[in-house]
């Protein structure tokens, strides 16, 4: 009960934040009632998914300061668990998703234990290495369809089916992921003021001091990594049901890992709203650029060039992201 009350307690945010957040949340909620194209609908779902990925990354990368560039492997584990269990044993989404989360968390413990002996660059590159190893394995593993991937065929599984989470109309997916999204916000709101959250921030500021205060640094990092993993894996499972056709290349490639980290970085790592702001900026930008520029002949890659320029500008001039700018303005006003 205490935890739920804490999760619902936003009293430390300024009122203006809450009003804006509430207004945007309401706008997202009623968005499908208004006329919309299927393109904007899928962009919206993408936005919600990447906000959740970003929130997951934000726990370890933002609050903990450990730059993890291997989150895609957990997207892959979650997506493959759900798809394989559905195809082979007809296990519904709502059961396979927790199983996928357990598998991901188990794997995260196995690799997290040695990983968190590393710091900084070494850690970041090692997370990439683990992710690429897993992707290579999935690309030759026949049980999960090797590099062809897995398709959840609409003939075998009739829609709509709430238990298996298979629908023809995107609006159902929208409300399911929106539910996850609100729960995710509440969880992060609880997390950032939990014991672990405070421990993490002290680790980020100064690891030696944190250790001298009696915090088990290694274990705190592993626990947080598991939380981030669970988030990512959950959305990965959703991704499998939503896209219905998964391959190692589009679930586990390095680009996904980077995109996840980038969402949180752009919005502001280590803040509650950061990943959502980041996803809100990047995902529509990406979709529209792809739609407008990428489709025209000879302009392949220009969307990613623009992307790269954004990353470079942020890291050069405002490493704390959009939220950092907001806070800077606020501090100035208070003076």
Partner 1 sequence: MDILIGSLFAGLLIGMILALVALGLTIIFGVMDIVNFAHGEFLMIGMYTGLLTAQGLGIDPLFTLPVAALVGFLLGIICYFGFIKFIIRGPMVAQLLGTFGLMLFLRNLALLIFGSEDRAVHTGLLVGKSFDLGLGIIVPATKLAAAGLSVAAFFAVWMLMHRTRVGKALTATALDAQGARYMGIPTERMNALAWGIGGASVTIAGALLVNFWSVNPFIGLLFTMIAFAIVALGGFGSIPGAFFAGLVVGLITEIPGFWDFFSYTFDAEWMMDVPMTSFKYMWVYVAYFLIVVFRPRGLFGWKQ
Query: Least Å distance between CB 124 and partner 1?
Result: 5
Regarding 307 and contact with partner 1 (CB under 8 A), the answer is yes
Residue among 75 and 124 whose Cβ is closer to partner 1: 124
Region binding partner 1 by CB under 8 A among candidate stretches 31-39, 45-53, 63-71, 159-167: 63-71
Residue entry with tokens 């752009």: 266
Binding mask 91-130 for partner 1 (x = CB under 8 A): -----------------------xx-xx-xxx-xxx-xxx
Q: Which two tokens stand for residue 115?
A: 């990983």
Give the three-state DSSP class for 150.
strand
3-state secondary structure 1-50: CHHHHHHCCCCCCCHHHHHHHHHHHHHHHHHHHCCCCHHHHHHHHHHHHH
Query: Least Å distance between CB 198 and partner 1?
Result: 20
Q: What part of residues 68-97 is at the interface with partner 1 (CB under 8 A)?
A: 69
- Give yes or no for a contact between 245 and 63, defined as CB atoms under 8 angstroms apart: no
Sole binder of partner 1 in the list 41, 132, 217, 222 (CB under 8 A):
132
Region binding partner 1 by CB under 8 A among candidate stretches 29-37, 170-178, 228-236, 256-264: 256-264
Residue among 18 and 309 whose Cβ is closer to partner 1: 309
Non-local (6+) Cβ contacts of 60 within 8 A are: 66, 68, 221, 224, 225, 227, 228
**How large is the angle between the packed helices 254-267 and 274-289, nearest 10 degrees?**
120
Regarding 287 and contact with partner 1 (CB under 8 A), the answer is no
Residue among 41 and 310 whose Cβ is closer to partner 1: 310
Give the three-state DSSP class for 246.
strand
Regarding 225 and contact with partner 1 (CB under 8 A), the answer is no
Query: Least Å distance between CB 137 and partner 1?
Result: 7
* Cα separation, 302 vs 289, whole angstroms: 8
């Amino acid at each position: 009960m205490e935890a739920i009350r804490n999760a619902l307690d936003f009293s430390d945010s300024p009122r203006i934040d809450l009003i804006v957040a509430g207004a945007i949340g309401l706008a997202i909620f009623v968005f499908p009632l208004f006329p919309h194209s299927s393109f904007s609908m899928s962009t919206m779902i993408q936005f919600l998914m990447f906000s959740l990925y970003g929130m997951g990354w934000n726990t370890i990368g933002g609050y903990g300061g450990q730059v993890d560039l291997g989150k895609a492997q957990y997207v892959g584990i979650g997506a493959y668990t759900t798809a394989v269990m559905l195809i082979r044993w007809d296990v519904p989404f709502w059961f396979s998703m927790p199983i996928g989360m357990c598998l991901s968390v188990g794997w995260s413990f196995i690799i997290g234990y040695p990983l968190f002996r590393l710091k900084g660059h070494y850690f970041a590159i090692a997370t990439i290495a683990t992710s690429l190893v897993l992707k290579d394995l999935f690309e030759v593993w026949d049980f999960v369809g090797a590099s062809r991937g897995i398709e959840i065929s609409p003939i075998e599984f009739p829609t709509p089916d709430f238990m298996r989470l298979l629908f023809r109309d995107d609006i159902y997916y929208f409300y399911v992921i929106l539910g996850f999204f609100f729960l995710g916000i509440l969880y992060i709101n609880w997390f950032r003021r939990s014991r672990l959250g405070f421990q993490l921030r002290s680790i980020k500021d100064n690891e030696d001091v944190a250790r001298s205060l009696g915090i088990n640094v290694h274990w705190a990092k592993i626990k947080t990594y598991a939380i981030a993993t669970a988030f990512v894996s959950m959305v990965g499972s959703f991704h499998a049901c939503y896209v219905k056709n998964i391959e190692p290349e589009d679930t586990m490639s390095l680009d996904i890992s980077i995109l996840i980290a980038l969402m949180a970085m752009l919005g502001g790592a280590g803040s509650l709203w950061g990943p959502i702001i980041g996803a809100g900026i990047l995902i529509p930008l990406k979709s529209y650029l792809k739609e407008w520029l990428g489709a025209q002949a000879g302009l392949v890659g220009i969307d990613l060039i623009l992307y790269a320029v954004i990353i470079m500008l942020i890291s050069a001039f405002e490493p704390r992201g959009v939220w950092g700018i907001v806070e800077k303005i606020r501090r100035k006003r208070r003076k």
